[in-house]
Structure 1
């Protein structure tokens, strides 16, 4: 007998994949208003984030040392194929990979690299640029975020899944969440499922869409998780009335070219939109068109100046 909820789930995954494809296409802005209404529904948001994660994961290329690595340029280009992969995983693919034994070691990315790694238990860790993880998977599944940002999709397994970043410890329960550790402090953002964050003797549960930030000053701030970061595994960021300098600073985390603003007042121009920030050769001309600037590229520097 067919489970009606399974059919509804498949339909939602297909719908999320269609939206993901639209919002990555050249006509994304004409869909923006309709997408914002659709994305505001928590179930839709969770499905969209899952489609984003599947896109970042792409095709599982090879299994080496208990996990699969995907180079930055090997991301899947076909969202429909990614949706089929999601269906396979949702139908038990995670469980088939779970319980595969121990895994110890370091996983790291270089500047400009985003890489998805499938761990020995079937969980996925997507590492942002210049990120370093220490893995200890045995009786307990434990990951230490040394620095950078990572997204975790936790596979079902009787063992606890624990991520440590600085003074913060995250205990996950079959969920999707981001953890960031940088000079400004640490942060946890929950996209789907349930986690508890322990920090300085305080244990705080998070609901989807919530986050916690430990600032460099030591303060612990509870906040709404920024939806602008939902697509970072695909190298995409969303800005709302942000300073142009902030957009440039985000892009310069990826390199290899460096974006530079040349001229008074450019840094404070306000920017709203969805941008691929990990490819400066695509980003620079788009920003130039928005503000009537000219682009000058020389010796690894891309300069935006007034025309």
Structure 2
């Protein structure tokens, strides 16, 4: 069963088209990630699906309900965790969740009991009676997530939920999202972290300038753009190695340092490369190769190949 269906979803601001004819289908209990460079329309798409913006053209249905004509019915079944904290820093964690539960129609007693249960389940019981403004970034983000899901939604929208968090806090958020999905919640996720999309998403839509570039599984997206190759060389051979790899058809190159101060040059190639001719070409230039190996192209490389731009670390 598809819980989200859009057709030709479009949003314009004057002469500027921010989202241009996006079609999406998301089944029950699935995670669908929206990726794209800054300004690609990810957040605007989420805001239309969450009934916060009206489409200029096209339509969207959530659980069979039109997001414009039946916005109230849609809002009762969805949760939204935006890019910025929705919690009140002057209230305790317990008071924040009790307030959100009451706003969702729970009685005073049921709201208080449910708030305590959620705080205990998500590792915040010890901080329940502290002001939310004193929480760490990871704790505040978990509280945000609980506020958006205080009544378990059928569809959860997460707009860059882990931006600015340390790896441990990010992993805690991932585990909570995976719990929601196991219980049947469908998730639409926008993220600036491609490893996050690879871990969580069943399908990915890459947007660029408001248009859909591709919609597919992470595995199919990466396999469609070729294979990856890693070459480790001494730092002084960086430019010559890059030139040789470019001559044999390597695309998008990323250079990183290794623990022994060598350089790892990671490239994407259209076809599976034969390593022996590459080694011969490098050896002919006097370049000592410390290591070389094939790998599956990364989602970062696929993103760059499809949009012509690297990922960016700010909201979109």
- Judge same fold: TM > 0.5, yes or no: no
TM-score by length of 1: 0.25
Bigger Rg over Cα:
2
Structure showing the higher strand proportion among its residues: 1
Determine which structure has greater relative contact order: mean sequence separation of CA pairs < 8 Å that are 6+ residues apart, divided by chain length.
Answer: 2
